[in-house]
A and B are shown apart, each in its own frame.
Chain A
Amino acid sequence: MKLFKNAKSAFLMASPYLAWAVIFIVVPLAMVIYYGVTDASGAFTFDNIARISESGYFKALCRSIALAFISTVICFLLAYPLGMILASMKLTRNTYLVTLFILPMWMNFLLRTLTWMTLLEGKGVINTVLEFLHLPTINIINTSGAIVLGMVYNFLPFMILPIYNSLSRIDDNVINAARDLGADSVQTFLRITLPLSVPGIISGITMVFIPALTTFAISTMLGGSKILLIGNIIEQQFTLVYDWHLGSGLSIVLMIFILLNMIIESISDKEGGIF
């Protein structure tokens, strides 16, 4: 009786969130899947999904994966040392510093990316300054490099935060214990610090790789219309071509990739680290 009452009140408490989840997650997802596996006449088909093998789409997918991967690696290489520095600082000073790194996140994402556009443009801020100094100008806008730059800039905080969190949670005495047992600082890092921060690394990777894989805003602004990512192609299906079926089909492919990514990560997390 008591249990039932509790279960009932628990359900009541959760109902607003359930409603929210149904309206904004389940329904759109169901619609994507419905459109993905039907054609214009409403008949069931796998064609939309299979069309990923068409060379244009397939190339865009590969390019997306490659750029997202490169951005994630760069983010990791930048964020890990930074996280270590932040975690080793005294508490009062580091909250201030962490905020400093998080600050860009409070600015609108599109605005930030747009800023890079005006900075990098052929006659943009950076080149104007370089010209003024009689230095060779750079031509990076509308290249893959610019897209990676945009991704790293936008998603770096999402890598720093979880890594910093997991590093700062390591007890100093655990590090001391390793040193005490004869490990030098490199051994201590490889055997203690790094493995203990794996959960942070994994959530950092997830939080950078997935948005980088699906973005279309960054590639639109910094890649011009020359470099299409899978995100751009899907976007075009909805906003230009009005082929919702193909757009949904390609989205499903992307979702499968994200799911795979998350499964691999959760397995390596459970096994106590990939190192």
Chain B
Amino acid sequence: MGKSLITLEHISKSYDGQLILDDLNLDIHENSFVTLLGPSGCGKTTTLRIIGGFEKPDQGRVVFDGQDITSLAPNKRQLNTVFQKYALFTHMSIEENIAFGLKIKNKPDSYIKDKIRYALKLVNLEGFEKRMPDSLSGGQQQRIAIARAIVNEPKVLLLDEPLGALDLKMRQDMQYELKRLKEELGITFIYVTHDQEEALTMSDHIVVMNQGYIQQEGSPETIYNEPENAFVADFIGDSNIIRATMVRDELVDILGTKFACVDKGFGENKPVDVVIRPEDVELVAPSEGTISGVVTDLTFKGVHYEMDVEACGYEWLVHSTRLSEVGTKVGIKVDPFNIQIMNVPVSEDEEAISETI
């Protein structure tokens, strides 16, 4: 990964006395595809707006290529934005919308023309030059917003849920196109989404946010396989997240049964959360399992079966290509490598409690 291009340092922002971003620190490397992932209202757009220059942080600095740009006007920043609600210029044709940035920069007409054709081809909307934005569907408008931003060849492209209005097929096509585009342009993408699958397939680096805090950042594999807390584990996909006790290094007590694991350094007899992905739960004969239970529900999901197994008072979510009928007694086994131990998330009141103890 390249050198650091954008750095957010101790960014805080509140609206009407409500803290939206709290001491946010983030390093974005050159040529990376960084995704901000989090539930609605967690501050993703606000973070992008601060990077784009539409919002000034209450505290902290934004550094771009070694320069403090915290107070720099948006038009002076070497980045372009694809806005969440498209924000097309309704009084201009599609062609004029796309040409806007280039005309401001006084590019020659022939260059602009080529760029418009290139961009429309890229977003699969050839022949739309003379149409007005209002006459386009939401998905088409969204693609025009992408085209309008990329023709300017920015160093960094900020994309705020740019595929939100598209259907699944179009979405997948555009995901592919955007990745290709990124490779082609060789620029940095900062991408916002609340769709974990999209984040996992597209990014080099995922930043999971919740309530204005960064919960975890890392590669898609790390985020998926080694979530640091229950929020991340839960947000990144269906999971078995169970409150457990770390007996000692490499041994964890889950629902009263001791399981071997590979994590160390959590202390002895400490409360932890464990996450076990549904595809990592092995169903075996009752006698061979670490614990045993009964299948209570079965759904066919295409590639695999999804089963609920009631064991030790917990409803285990299991994905398997092998079917076990409802009512079957089964044993549950988990490979030690597939047990992910996480610190119990510190919410503010819990923190307060542990401090007073």
Contacts and interface: CB of A to CB of B under 8 A. Distances in A.
A61 B188 CA distance: 66
Interface of A: 171, 173-174, 176-184, 187, 191-192, 195-196, 272-273
B245 interface: no
Contacts of B328: none
Contact of B105 (A180, A182, A195, A272): A182
Given A181-B75, A181-B149, A182-B105, 12 more contacts: A173-B85, A173-B87, A174-B87, A176-B52, A176-B83, A180-B52, A181-B80, A181-B101, A183-B104, A184-B73, A192-B89, A272-B91
Contacts, number: 63
16 contacts: A173-B87, A176-B83, A177-B87, A177-B148, A178-B89, A178-B100, A179-B74, A179-B75, A180-B74, A180-B149, A181-B101, A181-B149, A183-B75, A183-B100, A191-B100, A272-B91
B90 interface: yes
Contacts of A177: 81, 83, 87-89, 148
A191 B96 CA distance: 11
B338 interface: no
A174 B90 CA distance: 9
Most buried by B among A182, A192, A196: A182
Nearest to B104: A182
Nearest to A273: B91
B52 A181 contact: no
B172 to A, nearest CB: 27
Contacts of A192: 89
Interface string B77-95: 0011101110111110000
Most buried by B among A178, A192, A195, A273: A178
A180 B78 CA distance: 9
Contacts of B83: 173, 176-177
A219 to B, nearest CB: 39
A171 B148 contact: no
Nearest to B84: A173
Contacts of B84: 173
A224 B284 CA distance: 105
How many interface residues does chain B have, given as a range?
20 to 34
A184 B53 CA distance: 13
B54 interface: yes
B152 interface: yes
B87 A179 contact: no
Contacts of A191: 100
Contacts of B88: 174, 177
B75 A182 contact: yes
A181 B100 contact: yes
Interface string B56-76: 000000000000000001110
A184 B91 contact: no
Contacts of B105: 182
Contacts of A272: 91
A181 B85 contact: no
Contacts of B100: 178, 181, 183, 191
A273 B92 CA distance: 11
A170 B349 CA distance: 43
B85 A171 contact: yes
Nearest to A196: B91
A91 to B, nearest CB: 12
Contacts of B53: 179
B85 A180 contact: no
Given A177-B81, A195-B91, A182 B73 contact: no
Contacts of A179: 53-54, 73-75
A171 B86 CA distance: 11
Interface string B131-157: 000000000000000001100100000
A112 B306 CA distance: 78
A182 B106 CA distance: 11
Given A176-B52, A176-B54, A177-B81, A182 B101 contact: yes
Contacts of A178: 89, 100
A182 to B, nearest CB: 4
B156 to A, nearest CB: 12
Q: Which 6 A-B pairs have the closest CB atoms?
A: A181-B101, A173-B87, A179-B74, A177-B87, A182-B104, A180-B81
A130 to B, nearest CB: 47
Nearest to B73: A179
A195 B152 CA distance: 23
Given A174-B89, A176-B74, A182 B54 contact: no
B54 A181 contact: no
